[in-house]
Amino acid sequence: MKMLKFYQDRGLNIVKGKDQYVWDNQGNKYLDLHAGHGVAFLGHNNKTIIEYLKKQMEEIITLTPAFDTPIREEMLKELDTIKPENLDNVFLLNSGSEAIELAIKISRKITKRKKIIAFKNSFHGRTMGALAVTWNKKYREPFEPLIEPVEFLEYNNLDSLKKISDDVAAVIVEPVQGEGGVIPAKKEFMKALREITEKTGSLLIIDEVQTGFGRTGKIWAYQHFDIKPDILTAGKAIGGGFPVSAVFLPDWIGEKLEEGDHGSTYGGNPLATAAVTAACKVLKSENVPEQAREKGELFIKILKEKLEDFKSVREIRGLGLMIGIDLRFNPSTTIKILQDEKVLSLKAGLTVVRFLPPYLITQYDMEWASNAARKGISETERTKLAS
């Protein structure tokens, strides 16, 4: 039996993870700034999450959302303390893409419109609906036709928002474009987007699958912009490593949804609710958003100091612990050298090295990663000059 390779093989056999580190089968220790595309934000094998999962496994593992459970009631109480403002309804699913699918379905039912607005360089997932609002043509074109109509506007461009009209069901936006290059939204852009969607009666879907749950320095990244979404999708870090996603809705939308409008065999299963419960407890008890804000600022400062003399570095940018090094060349070789230096990272856009560290990252780790980045960029530059 062979595993289908939809991802490039990194050439590592990872056998263990703890906090911000992983180990391969040769005993080598790596600083994990990849973190499963940001999933392990609360650290690998977080003790609180493991304890909740073990306890739940001894009780019951499988139930559909048709049945109440004590752990679900506990989860709802925990979520109530960190939920997006005024979004008092939640439905759990298994992946970010599934959350986007539900958000799109809801927007069409509520508005009775079809058109969706997304943004260039966006990434929302690879299932058919989520893929339709994902910008990269390499992902989309082999599977077209997807859901229609979808129009892509310029991100952070106020003039482009004039194209949003009263035939639009929803606008979907990332507060920080992750896959697109770690590009934070501008405050005036997000405020204008909120104003025009309210004016046209279009729903504003904020995709916080990667940015949410403390990573950017606030519990939810939209809070940086003094706006409120109509629908918010979350995932990745919200389960502390367990596969789970969520869609948050206000009462005025939730009241219009009916039995059978959506479903998920595994969505909101007891293990998922246990993981979310534990993750919420960690988020609050460890003051994770504030740690992410402070550590993100320090990490960017160290990176800028270490890399300031490289002309091949266009920009170092980010929000909280979502950081990108924008280069003047494809970052693949640099990412490989980082890995050789025992630092795991990932690509974003065409030219960006992306760091998505667990909140547990230390200043020592930041120095380690910055020195590795310096070596990676330097060696990549020499290779390009030699060729």
pLDDT tens, position by position, 342-368: 999 999 999 999 999 999 999 999 999
Q: What is the pLDDT of residue 329?
A: 96
209 is in an annotated binding site: yes
Q: Which of 146, 200, 137, 142 is nearest to 171 (CA)?
A: 200
Question: Would you say 264 and 62 are in contact if contact means Cβ atoms under 8 Å apart?
Answer: no
Query: Is position 309 annotated in a ligand binding site?
Result: no
Read off the pLDDT of each residue in 243-252 and give the average, rounded to a whole number. 98
Instruction: Please say if the pLDDT value at position 387 is more than 90.
Output: no
144 is in an annotated binding site: no
Which pLDDT score, from 0 to 100, does residue 46 have?
98
Report DSSP state, residue 19: B
Beta bridge partners of 93: 245
β-pairing verdict for 322-327 and 352-355: antiparallel
Give me the residue spans of the domains in the chain.
14-45+287-386, 47-285
Residue 200 is assigned to a ligand binding site: no
207 carries a ligand binding annotation: yes
pLDDT, tens only, 35-49: 999 999 999 999 999
Is 326 annotated to bind a ligand? Reply is: no
Query: According to the CATH classification, is domain 14-45+287-386 in 3.30.479.30?
Result: no
Is 244 annotated as contributing to ligand binding? no
- The length of the chain in residues reads 387
Task: Check if 14-45+287-386 and 47-285 are the same fold.
Answer: no
Averaged pLDDT, 72-100: 98
**Whole-number pLDDT of residue 382:** 87
Domain 47-285 belongs to what topology? Aspartate Aminotransferase; domain 2 (3.40.640)
Q: Is 126 annotated as a binding residue?
A: yes
Encoded amino acid at 217, one letter: G
Q: Tell me the pLDDT tens digit for each residue of 110-155.
A: 999 999 999 999 999 999 999 999 999 999 999 999 999 999 999 9
Share of the chain above pLDDT 90, in %: 97
pLDDT of 386 strictly over 70: no
State percent of the chain over pLDDT 70: 99
From the list 200, 229, 187, 196, the residue with the least C-alpha distance to 212 is: 229
- Rounded CA gap, 379 and 317, in Å? 22
Which pTM does this prediction carry? 0.97
Q: What is the pLDDT of residues 180-209, one digit of tens each?
A: 999 999 999 999 999 999 999 999 999 999
List pLDDT tens digits, range 203-242. 999 999 999 999 999 999 999 999 999 999 999 999 999 9
- Work out the average pLDDT over 237-252: 98
Structural tokens at position 75 = 């989860």
- Cα–Cα distance between 259 and 257 in angstroms, integer? 7
